[in-house]
Amino acid sequence: MNQVITQIQQKYRENRELKNYSIFDIDISLKELADRGLIWVLKDLKDMSDGEKILIDHYLNEYRANQIYDNLDGIPYLQPSNESATTPLNQYSLNPVPVKKEKQTKKQQHLDVRDVKQFIGYKKAKELEEKIIELCKSFPSYEKKHVIDQIHRSAKSIKERIAIGEQIYIGEKFSQYSMSIGSAKETSAWLQISLGQKYITQEQYDDLDCLVNQVVSILTKTLCHLKDNEGKGIDLPNPYTPNVNNFGAYKNALLLVERIYEITRQREYWREKDLLYGMRQCSTSCVANIAEAHQLYIPKKFRFFNDSLKALQGLDSLLETSLNKGIISKETLKEIDGLRFSIRNVLTTKMSNISDEKAS
């Protein structure tokens, strides 16, 4: 282990014990370490209290872009003074960093801001949004507050997140691009739903889905370059995302949408518009959230899978109401429940795996 890391850890322990630190004192020391790019040094210490762990995680997240992982021995303001081993951590010779060294550190952690409108990924996202807006003009009017609004929103979000991601912080760029990738996959899901309902042709779908995949590919390659170059030493996620079309729960969710649309075309639903639109909204929301879950960060994946489960639960309630009103039969409900249960089981298993991954 690096000598400076060992010294910082040891000084922190000694200072905490000798000074009988209060949580207020600990907070001050941890914030100072975070500001100087060294809070990560304490991350894996075994003798931390729960309060300390929470503060460390908080400051590591807040000051993530500041953290310095390389060439610690060469940074002057991290060198200890010649005082005794009982010197408190905040009495290290924390002299200001020479201007030249500070610029080098920032270069490692920060990015140059470009004109986002010249970025090919942004151009493709803009083209996709424009084509979708034009295409949706031919959609049925009754889908205005549902499919049309949702696909407009998701397509718009792809472009907006790319624009927001054009900034100096590498971690924030990864976060915004991750959300853009998620929105792209959600947009593709709405396109598949539109194709299934024959609102668009196969040719139109292929053209737009190709644009979606181009955006995802461009963003992924950009993040790979950042991770392998400017982002070295920073805890960044794997930029690659799986193909949602290979995910069994997604395929079954699309089948569920097809079945729900087929059922709600029955004459009995014409007088039950709340049930009709509610069932369609829940089933399509299940698909959209599964698709959007296929992005980079574990908490976001978990949240979207959970939202998909909520949509399934909402659909279950509406189906029961339909059964009680005599609109659907028990046989129909049993058939749909088979699809719902298969989706739910896959999602709960996936979420359990994600929880284990978060804990490890």
What CATH number was assigned to the domain covering residues 114-240? 1.20.1440.60
Q: What DSSP line would sit under 279-345, residue for residue?
A: HHHHHHHHHHHHHHT-SS-HHHHHHHHHHHHHHHHHHHHHHHHHHHTTSS-HHHHHHHHHHHHHHHH
Tokens of 21: 């630190």
Per-residue pLDDT at 3: 72
* Region 83-88 average pLDDT: 38
Q: Same topology for domains 114-240 and 242-360, yes or no?
A: yes
The pLDDT, as a whole number, for residue 7 is: 78
The tens digit of pLDDT for each residue in 188-203 reads 999 999 999 999 999 9
What pLDDT does residue 358 have? 59
* Second-level CATH architecture of 242-360: Up-down Bundle (1.20)
pLDDT at residue 47 in the model: 72
pLDDT of residue 87: 37
Confidence of residue 16 (pLDDT cuts 50, 70, 90): low
Compute the average pLDDT of residues 272-293.
97
What is this structure's pTM? Answer: 0.70
Compare 136 and 99 and report the one with higher pLDDT. 136
Percent of the chain with pLDDT strictly greater than 70: 82
For all residues of the chain together, what is the average pLDDT? 84
Q: What is the pLDDT of residue 106?
A: 39
Provide mean pLDDT across the span 245-263.
97
User: Could you tell me which residues are beta bridge partners of residue 169?
Assistant: 110
Sketch the domain layout of the chain as residue ranges.
3-109, 114-240, 242-360
The pair of three-digit structure tokens given for residue 232, joined into one six-digit string: 């070295």
Does the pLDDT of residue 109 top 90, yes or no?
Answer: no
Q: Is the model's pLDDT at 45 over the cut of 60?
A: yes
